Amino acid sequence: MAAPAAIRAEADELRRELDEHNYRYYVLDEPTITDQAYDKLFRRLQALEAEHPDLVTPDSPTQRVGSAPASHFETVAHEVAMLSLENAFDEAEMLAFDERLHELLDTASPLAYCAEPKLDGLALSLLYEDGRLERAATRGDGRTGENITANARTLKSIPLRLQGDRAPRRLEVRGEVYMDRAGFEALNESQRESGGKVFANPRNAAAGSLRLLDSRITASRPLKFCSYGIGVCDGGELPDSQYAQMQYLRELGIPISREIELLDSIDACLDYHRRMLEGRDELGYDIDGVVYKLDDRRLQQQAGFVARAPRWAIAYKFPAQEVITRLLDVDFQVGRTGALTPVARLEPVAVGGVMVSNATLHNMDEIERKDIRIGDRVIVRRAGDVIPEVVAPVVEQRKGRLRKPKILKRCPVCDSEVIQQPGQAAWRCSGGLACAAQRKESIKHFASRKAMDIEGLGDKLVEQLVDLELIDSVADIFDLTLEQLSGLERMAEKSAQNLLDALDNSKRTTLARFIYALGVREVGEATAEALAEHFADLDALMDADVDALQRVEDVGPVVAENVRHFFDQPQNREVVRQLLAHGIGWPAVAARDVAEQTLDGKTYVISGTLDGYSRDQAARLLKARGAKVSGSVSAKTSAVVAGESPGSKVAKARELGVEIIDQAGFERLIGGN
Ligand code: IVH
């Protein structure tokens, strides 16, 4: 039965009131009722809606609890690309930015800028149609993002409908989703208690919380939204100043920065910067700088864009955050190749809202160079997501005679001898794969995403498996059984089976990934790819001498020596044999060596798209035959390969009288079909 008119009117009024209070709280920051009074109104509305489900509207304040988990996020194409920002790191770069704009706009009068903090979270696009929130999307690569509407709806600072009746028919609001420090601490505290994931910093916590498939969990996370601009606007006029636009959004009920200011010159910008830098700790949330935007929108249009950023805006970054604390001790971590990295144990200290108790000291030479002693007061720096590091001791505060950290004579994990190879800074454990730390690290590396990509075989699990002596080498992981796995702590039979499936799936790989996964010292992804492409065959690589190895692009004497040394070890050959016996394999690749160098001395430029070949593939095929591939046409170009819709390079070629060849011509060159 439909709800009586009086009840319907009451529900409407409650919604209006609740929206109004939300606006006062989140946008104006001037609440006029207590939390308890708000809750009372909220519960009354909930009760009415429960009794009369036909009263529920999608934009009711009660509809922010999240819904059943999605299987994936749909892709959203942004109508107007979501751009990034150019950075400035000092006053000189800011002055240069202002000067460039003066030149570009051909004016000598001071330019006005709209300034606000650069929030450290992630970008969100909110599309309102007829005043109602229809869609929320992440930035993604700037052109396409993910549809996360269900998640965004759970943020109380995002209005489900706009205030008043002045909203354009379609309005895309852009801004940042972030977590303030208090919210971040509270979340981590409860995650710790429940044994959930503890986040490294507010930014990661915000990103992780917003992109959850289960929006009910997002609803429980302390996420906030703050707008910084407008994307699409149809069916309405926007003010012609950036600052006025932001005030307009505020009137519509969209939260904007409380710190926003309209500044009349670049000098005022520099002054604003100093004020923000001084006051950043009092803000309650992390910012990594200030964004300045030319205020006049007509001038913005005139200034235009470069690559992926507007010419009329700039992010003036703050320097990395530094604090001083005490160095309690130095421990050593053993890496995959046995290198011992000194790790500083610190008196815990907050750096930019994150507690830090460990920091890297890089290597022993670094400790010596900086003359760091145990017990010193030291400067610790954290920049963005990177590992905190000890910058230097505060020598003036050193009291008494302090001990220098000393390299260990024996490995802290396996007790093997620690040695330093001549000419190398690193000290290494000589235990090789007899050292549990090196075994663990090499197995973690083998399983990692860019290597064999074994989903579910994370760091913690590898450590557990090695500690329990269930595995010894990378080959052993393929012998693991369902019984062994489901017997492990916190491992249900379902996850055990998933892991076995993932192990099975990982066996179909590529030669390049396999080479990378072996973890030869200094053979990263790119080198592994070059080796795979050059030799095309594992046996050929394993038997190649140092000279043959050095013929591979970018392989110098050190890497060649490392590869040779790796395959000279009988135990390594044995592991490779076992891995292959487990059925690891890859599609055959055409070897570079076998291709005749028919294009030696020629230079080609590729323009447009070729059917069946990516630009990279085409270039590789040409290079495999001895040709050079260049990005620009000159008189020295042998020919331009022109695919579908080629660009200006073809015109340039015509101008210079350089030969132009089509797809068929290209295929003749590479001797294909
Ligand atoms: S304006 C056309 N303003 O920084 C300019 N961006 O480095 C587009 N960000 O993807 C961005 N605070 O996620 C702007 N006040 C602010 C911002 C801000 C944080 C983020 C944003 C953007 C990234 C670019």
Rounded CA-CA distance 573/475 in Å is 11
Query: For a substitution probing ligand 1, which of 82, 125, 228, 269 has the most ligand atoms within 8 Å of its CB?
Result: 228
CB of 119 closer than 6 angstroms to any ligand 1 atom:
yes
Q: Which of 277-281, 422-426, 649-653 has the lowest mean pLDDT?
A: 422-426
**In this structure, are residues 79 and 231 in contact, taking their beta carbons and an 8 Å threshold?**
yes
Average pLDDT over residues 205-210: 93
pLDDT at 386: 61
Q: Average pLDDT over the chain, rounded to whole?
A: 90
List 40, 118, 409, 444, catalytic entry: 118
**In this structure, are residues 559 and 527 in contact, taking their beta carbons and an 8 Å threshold?**
yes
Rounded CA-CA distance 434/416 in Å is 9
CATH class of 594-670: alpha beta
Q: What SS3 class is residue 105?
A: helix
Q: What SS3 class is residue 509?
A: coil
Contacts of residue 129, Cβ cutoff 8 Å, sequence gap at least 6:
169, 170
pLDDT at 673: 40
pLDDT in tens, 453-486: 998 999 999 999 999 999 999 999 999 999 999 9
Query: For a substitution probing ligand 1, which of 114, 286, 291 has the most ligand atoms within 8 Å of its CB?
Result: 291
CB of 120 closer than 6 angstroms to any ligand 1 atom:
no
Residue 320: pLDDT above 80?
Answer: no
Give the number of residues written for the chain: 673
**Radius of gyration of the chain, Cα coordinates, nearest whole angstrom:** 30
Rounded CA-CA distance 164/248 in Å is 11
Single out the residue of 10, 179, 146 nearest to residue 72, CA to CA: 146
CB of 290 closer than 6 angstroms to any ligand 1 atom:
no
| Exposure on the CB side of residue 663, measured as CA atoms within 13 A | 13
Report the C-alpha dihedral over residues 48, 54, 56, 58, rounded to 10 degrees.
180
Average pLDDT over residues 195-221: 88
Containing 378, the helix (H) or strand (E) segment is strand 377-382
Residue nearest to atom 1 of ligand 1 (CA): 228
Tell me, in angstroms, the distance from the centre of ligand 1 to residue 178's CA: 12
CATH number belonging to domain 5-64: 1.10.287.610
CB of 116 closer than 6 angstroms to any ligand 1 atom:
yes
Average pLDDT over residues 315-320: 86
Q: Which of 262-266, 409-413, 590-594 has the lowest mean pLDDT?
A: 590-594
What single-letter DSSP state applies at residue 136? E
What's the CATH superfamily of 410-592? 5' to 3' exonuclease, C-terminal subdomain (1.10.150.20)
* Token pair belonging to 322: 């530094």
CATH number belonging to domain 322-397: 2.40.50.140
| Exposure on the CB side of residue 328, measured as CA atoms within 13 A | 10
**In this structure, are residues 554 and 530 in contact, taking their beta carbons and an 8 Å threshold?**
yes
CB of 230 closer than 6 angstroms to any ligand 1 atom:
no
Calculate the CA 538 to chain-centre distance. Answer: 33
Containing 513, the helix (H) or strand (E) segment is helix 511-518
The burial of 483, by beta-carbon neighbours within 10 Å (0-12 exposed, 13-18 middle, 19 or more buried), is given as exposed
pLDDT in tens, 330-344: 999 999 989 999 999
Q: What SS3 class is residue 332?
A: strand
Query: For a substitution probing ligand 1, which of 176, 203, 292 has the most ligand atoms within 8 Å of its CB?
Result: 176
CB of 471 closer than 6 angstroms to any ligand 1 atom:
no
CB of 260 closer than 6 angstroms to any ligand 1 atom:
no
Helix 436-447 with 511-518: angle, nearest 10 deg: 160
Residue 44: pLDDT above 90?
Answer: yes
| Exposure on the CB side of residue 267, measured as CA atoms within 13 A | 2
Average pLDDT over residues 261-285: 93
Closest ligand 1 atom to residue 87 Cα is 7
Q: Which of 247-256, 614-623, 642-651 has the lowest mean pLDDT?
A: 614-623
Residue nearest to atom 22 of ligand 1 (CA): 84
Q: Which of 121-125, 553-557, 641-645 has the lowest mean pLDDT?
A: 553-557
Closest ligand 1 atom to residue 257 Cα is 15
Residue 671: pLDDT above 50?
Answer: yes
Tell me, in angstroms, the distance from the centre of ligand 1 to residue 321's CA: 20
Containing 272, the helix (H) or strand (E) segment is helix 266-279
Per CATH, 322-397 and 410-592 having the same topology is answered no
Domain boundaries, the chain: 5-64, 86-317, 322-397, 410-592, 594-670
Which residue(s) pair with 230 in the sheet?
173
**In this structure, are residues 471 and 443 in contact, taking their beta carbons and an 8 Å threshold?**
yes
**In this structure, are residues 138 and 145 in contact, taking their beta carbons and an 8 Å threshold?**
yes
Residue nearest to atom 2 of ligand 1 (CA): 83
The burial of 319, by beta-carbon neighbours within 10 Å (0-12 exposed, 13-18 middle, 19 or more buried), is given as exposed
CB of 78 closer than 6 angstroms to any ligand 1 atom:
no
Which residue shows structure tokens 């954290």? 382
Residue 306, Cβ neighbours under 10 Å: how many? 10
E runs forming strands in 411-456: 418-420, 427-429
Residue nearest to atom 15 of ligand 1 (CA): 118
Q: Which of 162-171, 265-274, 469-478, 612-621 has the lowest mean pLDDT?
A: 612-621
- Residue 317 designated active-site: no
CB of 171 closer than 6 angstroms to any ligand 1 atom:
no
Residue 376 to residues 99, 357, 456, Cα–Cα distance (Å): 45, 15, 41
Tell me, in angstroms, the distance from the centre of ligand 1 to residue 174's CA: 9
- The pairing of strands 309-310 and 313-317 is unpaired
pLDDT in tens, 502-521: 999 999 999 999 999 999 99
Contacts of residue 616, Cβ cutoff 8 Å, sequence gap at least 6:
none
Residue nearest to atom 12 of ligand 1 (CA): 118
Closest ligand 1 atom to residue 116 Cα is 15
CB of 175 closer than 6 angstroms to any ligand 1 atom:
no
Single out the residue of 226, 261, 266 nearest to residue 241, CA to CA: 261
CATH number belonging to domain 86-317: 3.30.470.30
CB of 176 closer than 6 angstroms to any ligand 1 atom:
yes
Residue 361 to residues 172, 340, 368, 374, 377, Cα–Cα distance (Å): 47, 11, 10, 12, 14
Residue nearest to atom 18 of ligand 1 (CA): 118
What single-letter DSSP state applies at residue 45? H
Rounded CA-CA distance 540/66 in Å is 56
